Amino acid sequence: MELINLQIRALLEEPDMIAALANVSACIFEQWNGLNWAGFYLVKNGELVLGPFQGRTACTHIPFDRGVCGLTFTSKLPQRIQDVLSFPGHIACDSASRSELCVPVLVRGECVMEIDLDAPVEGYFTEEMEKEMLQAAEDIASAYLQHHW
């Protein structure tokens, strides 16, 4: 298991969801040089709502049918977008972002939140990074159940 995943797993021992996710977003932001945003969108009231994050100002509400985050929610699959400017329907919350990785956190088959990462360069995210965030999503789902978030 990668160091970042070991750190995330330790941070998820915190029983308060907001406190745990705040530290997880800080951990990711600090570990991967070059990110301009690392954080969470929570499923609330029929949309994605901004959760704990590190980085530049972000969109606060995202409909399920818009952008990379919306596709992640509806497909329940990770999205690794090498050039967001070529992604149809991309939501430019930060005009500096050029690539994005979004991973669903699934609990009992339902998306309850997403890990969303942005970088200011095209092609920043690798297959290995995607695998690390998929592991993080599994660990967050386990914490979600364990702590009754």
pLDDT tens, position by position, 130-142: 999 999 999 999 9
On whether the 3-146 domain is CATH 3.30.450.40, my answer is yes
Instruction: State percent of the chain over pLDDT 70.
Output: 96
With H, G, I as helix, E, B as strand and everything else as coil, classify residue 44: strand
Average pLDDT over residues 37-44: 98
With H, G, I as helix, E, B as strand and everything else as coil, classify residue 137: helix
**Do residues 59 and 31 lie in contact, with contact meaning Cβ atoms separated by under 8 Å?**
no
pLDDT tens, position by position, 105-148: 999 999 999 999 999 999 999 999 999 999 999 999 999 999 99
Average pLDDT over residues 28-56: 96
pTM of the model: 0.94
